[in-house]
Structure 1
Amino acid sequence: MAENNYTEDNIRSLDWKEHIRLRPGMYIGKLGDGSSPDDGIYILIKEVVDNSIDEFVMGNGKKVEIKIKDGKVTVRDYGRGIPLGKVIDCVSQINTGGKYDSKAFKKSVGLNGVGTKAVNALSSHFMVYSVRDGEKKMAEFSKGEVLQDYPVEKTDEPNGTYVEFVPDDTVFKKFVFKLPFVEKMIWNYCYLNRGLSIYFNGQRYLSKNGLQDLLENNMDGDPLYPIIHLEGDDIELAMTHGKTYGEDYYSFVNGQHTTQGGTHQSAFREAVARVIRDFYNKNYEASDIRQSIVAAISVKVIEPVFESQTKTKLGSQEIEPNGKSMRAFVNDFLKEKLDNYLHKHPEVADILEKKIKQSEKERKELSGIRKLARERAKKASLHNKKLRDCRVHLTDVKNDRREDTTLFITEGDSASGSITKSRDVNTQAVFSLRGKPLNSYGLTKKVVYENEEFNLIQAALDIEDEMDNLRYNRIVIATDADVDGMHIRMLLMTFFLQFFPDLVKRGHVYILQTPLFRVRNKKKTIYCYSEDERRKAMAELGKNPEITRFKGLGEISPDEFANFIGEDIRLEPVILSKQNSIETILSYYMGKNTQERQEFIIDNLRVEKDEVEEKETVAEELIKEEQE
């Protein structure tokens, strides 16, 4: 047997761009196609914009312009501009940048000098220019390689930096920028940087009241009491209570949206319960105090420690090296400011206590039925035919594939059978519904425990107590594209929005897009998701291709299904728009306004043109069935 020699020839040094391209996940998290807000293409935008924000924070330039068109992103700020002699180095040499001088960028967002280098290495086209005092220096790159190094030239342009890039489609396959995700990112920059104007595709974004604006723009319905807005050195906080279930937090560190929370968010949750208990001098349960809370917290930290390069979870235990602990810092701030506020506003203190007592009452009413439901779920899970689980879960923090974990919720045995046979057993689980779920609109949480199917979904997700236990990163509703499928989709969405709105708000809920047609000849098969794609496929394959119309998921064989839930999976994220509160959405789709909803169903059913009359009939039947 030949011996494997381990010699100097086996040791390979990668240059900076090769390393980024070989291990992009280390620099920008998951790649993705744009269907999730933390996909790599959005991290690329963020890495470029962060530099412009740091300029604003340092007092340079009050305007940033961002444009996205046909997959190309451009960012122009009006800060000081990169020193002209360092333009190429700053975007192509790791550990080069202004942020190592901790005086200049004491509490900046980007700290490792990698951001724009990663964007450069992962873009098929990357161009940067800097303007300083009437002089302009420009350079062009592709995949990190310098294509053109232009000489310095005179210009009338104002100072600042311009970056344009196109993500490399060999790295980010079939990517599409979803503008609502970009818009949300831009709003967050504005809330955290009052006075900064960001122009996105020509529209201006500006915040005057910081985190107070964030809550006002993102809350479902009206707050129970006016938003409490508190500020101190290196900390800003806004909080109120709403009418929906759960706890809703927006947390930030040095302007970075920590979507997965971290030590600052945990410190706030702990401190708010302690301060409110002390204020009323009553030992209320923390869960009753925080039920329906909506809060935003932003802290500034020197040398923050994050749990990953994409900075979505803060790990710092201290506010600065060898300084006060994060817990003590947040607690001391709330102890003074929140306690003072409640003393000065007795009417708010009164509303808040009533809310806590109401949550306590509801929890006690549920405790008996909860116990029974848990026992039922436990028995069911031992022989739960509804859930075919996977091996990895989102809670497995040390597993590289935790972000890929997906739960498909399907209707009927044939569809769930196809997905089960073709899924990746490591990261994809399947939950099979029996018929149509209950319409839970307007019902209390009691129904989640009384209804076996809802109780089992809740148990499968493990979100009864808090979102941190969520077992799957993506919850994918996989129903047919017909009237029944759409109805089931709406009933499931009602359940999630009514009782677990955080699942939707945090971007965990998706709709599976499955092909409507298969177009093929002897050499090639193309799956088409729309009429337009079908026409293009027919043109590409030439004369008389074979066309199959898929009417339901159950018709697609397991072998074929593997194509739609693997690498090329098409997911449509469920995004809540700023204009519509959950209350409005639910009353519109699931309330009594039958005519409007019938029109919505008719407009949104994906069926052939010659089936218009059939659409109207099934929509009428659906409304009638719901009323009965």
Structure 2
Amino acid sequence: MQSSTYTASNIKVLKGLEAVRKRPAMYIGGTSERGLHHLVYEVIDNSIDEALAGYCDEIICTITTEGNIRVEDNGRGIPVDIQKDMGVPAVQVVLTVLHAGGKFDDKSYKVAGGLHGVGVSVVNALSEFLEVNIFKDGKEYFMRFERGLPVTELQVLGDTNKTGTVVTFRPDPLIFETTEFSFDYLTSRLRELAFLNSGLRIILKDERSGRVHDFKYEGGIKSFVEYLNQNKKPLFPNPIYISSVKEGMEFEVALQYNEGYQENIFSFANNINTTEGGTHLSGFKSGLTRAVNTYIKNADLLKNEKVSPSGEDIREGLTAVISLKIANPQFEGQTKTKLQNSEVEGIVNSAVYEKLMEYFEEHPAEAKNITMKSILAARSREAARKARELTRRKTVLESGSLPGKLADCTLSDPEKTELFLVEGDSAGGSAKQGRDRSFQAILPLWGKMLNTEKARVDKVLNNDKIQPIILALGAGIGQEFDISKLRYHKIIIMADADVDGSHIATLLMTFFYRYMRPVIEEGKLYIAMPPLFQVRKGKQKVYVYNEEERDKAIREFGEKGVLVQRYKGLGEMNAEQLWETTLDPKNRKMIAIKMDDAIEADRMFTILMGDEVEPRREFIQENARYVKNLDV
């Protein structure tokens, strides 16, 4: 551990806390589950910044039995001496003043994540209460805040030989739609942070369930890539690792190809997941494309080829993690999803190109595997282009340019319409009769659905089960997908409530995730929840979704004379029943498919639909106890 003074003089005040409680979405992106968990990340980011500066090697995040969050670190501890501009203890300034913190002082932190000094004060403002314990200079200090305002003075609780900070808070139920934290939600981000900071130990505990995760990865982002590829078939055993330090910027990337067809690149700047990429990502892509094409040209591998690999071809089957540490990051927007530092692109491009060319010279077998995969992808792209042209010609030639089995709705405003993808012709027929044809369109699906996890885009485009979906939605596919052209803003998968139905739903979700991902990202994909039972007595009837609800309904009706009908499939319901239970917006139940964590989503779809059987078995065994109302 290094040692350094970190006192009130390091805390620079820019502006006061004002509109956070009135407009929380401006600061944390919303008041739903995502915004709620963002509070935790902001507190942890402060501890991570201590780790980046070299003063912290362990962070413990706990969901308490009361449902609060406690974050502990063994860093230097937030300063407690009087901050000269404000005349109050520095910890009070950090927790109550927007844009106040050590991140504005170059001496305290060389690089930092968080929301540039608004983070922990925003957490305080949006919490019913926040308590901070500080272990510093041989003393333990304590202070409590409620809805952003101090309710105690800074107190000395006693002597200690520890250093660090403990922040405990409860989100304000007046602000958030939910205040229940998800262990799995937090697991994804904390695992990510442990990968990005090699050697840092991050422990996540849930006192409600007793679950604990202990993350520490000495291999850093190389271990991250191995984790992402663990259920895939890599082309070579060890990830390629590139690092460079230049002009005050630290850059590293780990990459490994697998036998699949999907591109998975995750980019980070100062530990922040830049989901929209930016200059570090574009620099990496350019350097990679340049290196592979240079190697192909030098080896004269295209002499008999009609096409040459594009950047997209070269990234087929690539898994990569890019991590950048930079002193003054410039992001697009407050939530920092895109890096904008212009100087980064050229530096990263050059570093990737030079180091990859060295690697290719030293590892000719791996270089050949990568380049041949790129050439095969280029051939596939050409085949896909022809398939798209054929699809477009069919679209122009066929009447209405829509699939024949589609029963379209009369309204044309996408925001008001919904498309049901219905398993089987029988259920499709009932759905067509039972729907509200003004805004509900029905597309029956038949036969065995293609597993798009194992297929290149040309095979997907040519598949007679997938083509009708692409045509009906009218927004293209893959790189050409344009969500603004989507013909329906609700897409609802309607399959039987059994194992086969679940399999079909998973195949369809995999298709949307791999080839129309914005549909999931923008919350337009749903799964219908048809009932399992109808319970009736005389003219009274109720539809229920599991055995527990069935038994409750029987008791309420009085057991004598009660009739129970179990639906084995959607095809057993007539049009009226299908409307009452699954189509009518007033009564139906649906699950909204979310994708808040692309890394875990990719891993899940690989496990569920990939070639490896054992990881799928383990996943089902591990997660079965967390699934409710599973009917097999």
Give the TM-score, by structure 1 length.
0.73
Question: Offset at 1:95?
Answer: 1.9
SS in 2 for 1:313: coil
Counterpart CA distance in 1 for 2:60 and 2:192 is: 15
Deviation at 1:294, TM superposition (A): 1.4
- Trace 1:87-98 onto structure 2 (pairs within 5 A): 87-98=91-102
Whichever residue aligns with residue 73 of structure 1, its letter is: I
- Letter matched to residue 307 of structure 1: E
Alignment equivalent of 1:133, drawn from 128, 137, 141 = 137
Q: How far has the Cα of 1:231 moved from its partner?
A: 0.8
Indicate which of 319, 323, 340 corresponds to 1:294.
319
After superposition, the Cα gap between the structure-2 partners of 1:271 and 1:444, relative to the gap in structure 1 and judged at 3 Å, is closer
Q: Which residue of 1 aligns with 2:79?
A: 83
Task: Give the distance between the partners of 2:263 and 2:93, measured in 1 at CA.
Answer: 45
Letter matched to residue 138 of structure 1: F
Q: In structure 2, how many angstroms separate the alpha carbons of the residues matched to 1:42 and 1:179?
A: 10
AA at the equivalent of 1:222: K
1:104 equivalent to 2:104? Answer no
1:64 alignment partner, one of 59, 62, 66: 59
What SS class does the counterpart of residue 187 from structure 2 fall into?
Answer: helix
Which letter does structure 2 place at the counterpart of 1:561? K
Aligned residue identity for 1:230 = I
State the alpha-carbon separation in 2 of the partners of residues 477 and 573 from structure 1.
16
Residue 46 (structure 1) aligns with: 41
Q: What amino acid maps onto 1:48 in structure 2? A: V
Matches within 5 A, 1:78-477: 78-84=74-80, 85-110=89-114, 112-156=116-160, 158-174=162-178, 176-201=180-205, 202-219=212-229, 220-225=231-236, 226-233=238-245, 234-281=250-297, 283-314=308-339, 316-318=340-342, 325-377=343-395, 385=406, 409=421, 412=428, 432-436=442-446, 438-441=448-451, 445-458=457-470, 460=473, 462=475, 464-466=477-479, 469=482, 477=493
Instruction: For residue 74 of structure 1, report the CA deviation from its aligned partner.
Output: 1.1
Report the Cα distance in structure 2 between the residues aligned to 1:468 and 1:305, rounded to whole angstroms: 29
Shift of 1:258: 1.2
Q: Distance in 1 between matches of 2:373 and 2:155?
A: 66
3-state secondary structure, aligned to 2:326: coil
Q: 1-side partners of 2:200 and 2:528: how far apart?
A: 38
Question: How far off is 1:572 after superposition?
Answer: 6.8
Secondary structure in 1 aligned to 2:252? strand
Pick from 608, 617, 621 the counterpart of residue 585 of structure 1.
608
Contact 1:410 1:416 in 2 (8 A): no
Q: Which residue of 2 aligns with 1:399?
A: none
Compared CA separation, residues 515 and 125, structure 1 to 2 (3 A)? farther
Cα deviation per residue 1:406-439 (whole Å; 9 max; x = unaligned)? 987555477699997899xxxxxx7743134633
- State the SS of the aligned residue for 2:134: strand
CA shift for structure 1 position 342: 0.8
Residues 559 and 582 of structure 1: is their aligned pair in 2 closer, same or farther, counting only changes over 3 Å?
closer
Deviations 1:534-562 (A, max 9, x none): 999999x9999x99999676323866538
Equivalence for 1:481: 497
CA separation of 1:327/1:95 partners in 2, compared to 1, >3 Å: closer, same or farther?
Answer: closer
Structure 1 distance, partners of 2:141, 2:475, is 55
Read off the aligned partner of 2:285 and give its amino acid letter: R
| Distance change >3 Å, CA 203–CA 482, structure 1 → 2 | closer
Q: Structure 1 stretch 468-477 or stretch 228-237: which is displaced more? A: 468-477
The corresponding residue for 1:396 is none
- Which AA in structure 2 matches 1:451? N
Q: CA deviation at 1:467?
A: 8.1
Provide the rounded CA distance (Å) in 2 between the counterparts of 1:296 and 1:474. Answer: 33
Name the structure 1 match of 2:22: 22
Give CA deviations for 1:173-231 in whole Å, capped at 9, x if unaligned. Answer: 24543333321211211121111111111432011111111110011412112311111
In 1, distance between residues paired with 2:589 and 2:180?
17
Identify if the C-alpha distance between structure 1 residues 528 and 577 changes in structure 2 by more than 3 Å, giving closer, same or farther. farther
1:73 is the counterpart of 2:84:
no
Structure 1 runs not aligned, ≥5 long: 1-14, 34-38, 319-324, 394-404, 424-429, 520-525, 609-614, 616-628
Q: 1:392 to 1:558 in 2, by over 3 A?
A: closer
Given residue 75 of structure 1, which amino acid in structure 2 is its aligned partner? V
Provide the C-alpha distance between the structure 1 equivalents of 2:449 and 2:433, rounded to a whole number of angstroms. Answer: 25
Gap change, CA 1:149 and 1:367, over 3 Å in 2: same
Q: 1:368 to 1:189 in 2, by over 3 A?
A: same
Superposition deviation, residue 124 in structure 1: 2.2
Q: What is the match of residue 12 of structure 1?
A: none
- Relative to 1, partners in 2 of residues 1:383 and 1:392: Cα closer, same or farther, differing over 3 Å? closer
Q: How far apart are the structure 2 equivalents of 1:536 and 1:91?
A: 50
**1:125-178, CA deviations, whole angstroms, 9 ceiling, x for partnerless residues?**
322221212222222233223334452221326111111222223333245433
SS in 1 for 2:365: helix
Residues 555 and 174 (structure 1 numbering): CA distance in 2 closer, same or farther, change over 3 Å? farther
Taking only the aligned residue pairs, the percentage that are identical comes to 29
Query: Contact 1:245–1:500 (CA<8 Å) still a contact in 2?
Result: no
Q: In the superposition, relative to structure 1, how do residues 557 and 32 fare at CA in structure 2: closer, same or farther (>3 Å)?
A: same
**Secondary structure of the structure 1 residue equivalent to 2:256:** strand
Unaligned runs of 5+ in 2: 1-14, 81-88, 206-211, 303-307, 536-541, 571-577
Report how far residue 235 of structure 1 moved. Answer: 0.5
Distance 1:509 1:144, change over 3 A: same
1:284 aligned counterpart, secondary structure: coil
Give a deviation string over 1:28-85, Cα, whole Å, max 9, x none.
Answer: 113323xxxxx11221111000000000111112100011245321110110111122
* CA gap 1:560/1:251 in 2 versus in 1, 3 angstroms: same
TM-fit CA distance, 1:469: 4.8
SS in structure 2 at match of 1:131:
strand
Q: CA RMSD in A?
A: 4.7
State the AA in 1 paired with 2:50: E
